[in-house]
Amino acid sequence: MQIIETSAEEYGALFTSYPHIYNSVSFSELNKRKTGRLHYLTFRNPKVRFGLVLGEDNGGTLASPFSAPFGGLTYNKAQSIEFIDDAIKALKEYGRERNMRIRITLPPFFYDDRHLPCVANALYREARLCKMDINYHFLISDFADYPTVIERNAKKNLRHAMEQDTTFIIADSSNEDDIKRAYGIIKKNREEHGYPLRMTYEDVIGTTHVIPADFFILQHGYDDMAAAQVFHVTDKIYQVIYWGDLRGFSSLRPMNLLAYRIFEHYHKQGIEILDIGPSTEDSIPNYGLCCFKESIGCRSSLKLSFEI
């Protein structure tokens, strides 16, 4: 397997589809200011089998992703485990020749249960497993029988939330005022809890020009109390980028109701999976987040990070 570096334009012409939006040329180019240099790699034998976009930092590291939840290999069609092995070995040599580390975070396996276990296996043999994060997702088909998939306490909290004077708003994602409103709620939530907010408002607006996005707001009376930002990562898998409520309304259990309304919305839309994201930081679990996501019917899977 030979690695040939190419341009963004040629890379985009070679790969007509992506396993997820974060591997796309458009998303990479949007965020290239966050890295020293982009490497668009193609893997050939002699046909083009795989692609990989790496961002280079000043510390001698090439990363996939360099500004996203996950990255990994791109492929236009199914590839054998032998070709996957050859590609990872070639990537290891690519890093060695340049005296650079390569870090790869794979999507959770539900994004592609055909290829991702094979890629993880190849990386495990050629690289070092450095993080094992717990990622949660909601299988939208479970919403058809939602009372049976949520825990007893979550049912109680949902009933309590439904008794309140609330309004669920599907914001206009083409309206910057609506986006700013939802973002402001999320920003305040992060400030109240001391959580990082890695995307600025400008980042969010720029990304919506590349990735279709949905924004949701939950009101109590005339007051905003919770919001969510969701990206369309594949045709059938959407991802919660941020969601949260305001501390003054926490006793009303708005997150239970917000989750319910969002699941309901995507059930009507025919989406298959809502990726809720990890509840770990560098593999260390946040017990409260884990318990909440499990209580509302989410399933867990692993998101693995490797270093070559």
| pLDDT tens column, 230-288 | 999 999 999 999 999 999 999 999 999 999 999 999 999 999 999 999 999 999 999 99
Contacts of 152 (CB under 8 A, 6+ apart): none
For 48-173, strand residue ranges (E) read 48-56, 61-64, 101-105, 128-139, 166-170
Q: pTM to 2 decimals? A: 0.95
pLDDT in tens, 116-126: 999 999 999 99
Q: How far apart are CA 162 and CA 76, in angstroms?
A: 45
Q: Is 298 helix (H, G, I), strand (E, B) or coil?
A: coil
Q: Is 227 helix (H, G, I), strand (E, B) or coil?
A: strand
**What is the overall mean pLDDT for the chain?**
96
Q: Mean pLDDT, to the nearest integer, of 140-163? A: 96
- Give the up-direction half-sphere exposure of residue 181: CA atoms within 13 A in the CB hemisphere: 20
pLDDT in tens, 178-207: 999 999 999 999 999 998 899 999 999 999
The CA dihedral of 40, 41, 42, 44, to the nearest 10 degrees, is: 160
Sign of CA dihedral 72, 74, 75, 78: positive
Question: To 5 degrees, how large is the angle CA 288–CA 189–CA 269?
Answer: 80
Phi-psi region of 174 (alpha: psi -120 to 50; beta: other; left: phi over 0): alpha
Q: Which of 100, 129, 106 is nearest to 39 (CA)?
A: 100
Q: How far apart are CA 146 and CA 151, in angstroms?
A: 10
DSSP secondary structure string, 17-82?
Answer: --SSGGGSHHHHHHTGGGSSEEEEEEEESSSEEEEEEEEE-TTSEEEESSSSS----B-SS---HH
Q: Which of 40, 27, 36, 31 is nearest to 56 (CA)?
A: 36
Beta bridge mates, 166: 220
Chain position carrying tokens 């990726």: 275
Q: How far apart are CA 104 and CA 143, in angstroms?
A: 33
**pLDDT value at position 59?**
81
